[in-house]
């Protein structure tokens, strides 16, 4: 009996030790646990993001307009425009010629959605530029005109306007100046022959239909170009073009003053030798690979006064050999009315030199 009692007491002693150890481990583990208590309110972080570009857009967006052209009440063209100058309540706006070319009525929609009828001050198909004006009874701002000759390849620029129409008014795209002094061939009369080379800035900023006539601006917020065109091809991306503002301003100044661009006149209609058939070359006795064939001479023109006749071959102007009509036009239009030019032409194989005063 004593042995049994002694065994039970020993067992009870060890049992107490085990219970004590388990209790110690349990309390220690509970003290080391991290308790998560959900908050009754959840606060969402709010950060206002601002940068030089966003500030630039805010300062520029009310200087950009949407231009719509209508013919007998039907919309025939939509583009963009840049506010060029303010004269009290009159606003002058630059846009592209092709935006307003097909209509007889033009209206302006400003950034505040107010609409106003516009008058075409002047337009020039050759440079694809037009100047509009309208009266308003609210405040807007005009762009500061930049100097496009200072533009550098790799410079970040912003294009603004209404791509695809009024629904996307105020759209902004950004990119780099990809190239300077690019030459884009223009076929003005749609005869398949290039009539003019336009000097443009190339950018990879997105320029789409409706952006035409809108501003291309630099990081100082200055107007450095007028968005004009893009290369639309499934194999090409990021090829947009803008007319440099240094070439825009002389045209716009003439449009504002004269209603048109006044260019010098020589008074001849010419055709490139390579455009003539072999029969025509033989008939007129033309063997030269370079030069322009005189198709017609205007009555009383500087050319007629200088003795130039139909059938003559224009060889050069001011020492520059003539190769095609586009080049001839650009050389001619680089001069002003009453400028004197030195011209060389051929007749019956004999070379003649003349100094001509342009009209």
The set of catalytic residues is 98, 128, 212
Question: What is the rounded distance in angstroms from the CA atom of residue 191 to the CA atom of residue 179?
Answer: 29
What is the token pair recorded at 192?
């398949």
- 228 within 8 A of 216, measured Cβ to Cβ: no
Question: What is the rounded distance in angstroms from the CA atom of residue 268 to the CA atom of residue 345?
Answer: 12
- 204 within 8 A of 175, measured Cβ to Cβ: yes
Please count the CA atoms within 13 angstroms of the CA of 246 that sit on its side-chain side.
Answer: 10
What is the token pair recorded at 285?
């006795």
Cα of 28 vs its chain's centroid, Å: 73
Would you state the torsion angle of the CA atoms of residues 312, 316, 317, 322, taken in this order, to the nearest 10 degrees?
Answer: 100
Phi first, then psi: give them for residue 296, nearest 5 degrees: -155, 150
Please count the CA atoms within 13 angstroms of the CA of 238 that sit on its side-chain side.
Answer: 7
């Amino acid at each position: 009996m004593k042995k049994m009692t002694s065994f039970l007491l020993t067992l009870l002693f060890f049992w107490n030790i085990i219970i004590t150890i388990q209790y110690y481990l349990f309390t220690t583990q509970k003290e080391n646990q991290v308790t998560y208590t959900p908050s009754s309110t959840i606060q969402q972080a709010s950060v206002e993001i601002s940068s030089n570009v966003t500030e630039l857009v805010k300062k520029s967006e009310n200087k950009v307009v949407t231009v719509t052209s209508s013919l007998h009440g039907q919309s025939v063209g939509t583009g963009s425009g840049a506010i060029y100058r303010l004269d009290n309540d009159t606003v002058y706006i630059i846009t592209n010629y092709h935006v307003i070319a097909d209509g007889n009525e033009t209206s302006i929609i400003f950034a505040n959605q107010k609409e106003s009828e516009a008058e075409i001050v002047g337009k020039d198909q050759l440079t694809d530029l037009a100047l509009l004006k309208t009266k308003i009874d609210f405040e807007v701002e005009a762009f500061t005109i930049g100097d496009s000759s200072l533009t550098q390849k790799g410079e970040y620029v912003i294009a603004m306007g209404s791509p695809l129409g009024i629904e996307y008014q105020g759209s902004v795209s950004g990119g780099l100046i990809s190239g300077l002094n690019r030459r884009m061939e223009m076929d003005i009369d749609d005869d398949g022959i290039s009539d003019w080379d336009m000097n443009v800035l190339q950018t990879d900023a997105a320029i789409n239909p409706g952006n035409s006539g809108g501003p291309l601006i630099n990081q100082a917020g200055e107007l450095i170009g007028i968005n004009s065109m893009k290369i639309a091809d499934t194999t090409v991306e990021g090829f947009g073009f803008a007319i440099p503002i240094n070439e825009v301003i002389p045209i716009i100044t003439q449009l504002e003053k004269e209603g048109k661009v006044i260019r010098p006149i020589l008074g001849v209609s010419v055709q490139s030798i390579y455009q003539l058939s072999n029969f025509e070359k033989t008939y007129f006795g033309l063997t030269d690979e370079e030069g322009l064939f005189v198709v017609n001479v205007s009555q009383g023109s500087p050319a007629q006064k200088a003795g130039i006749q139909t059938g003559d071959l224009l060889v050069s102007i001011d020492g520059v050999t003539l190769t095609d009509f586009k080049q001839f036009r650009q050389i001619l239009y680089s001069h002003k009315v009453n400028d004197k030019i030195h011209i060389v032409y051929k007749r019956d194989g004999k070379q003649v030199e003349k100094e001509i005063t342009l009209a």
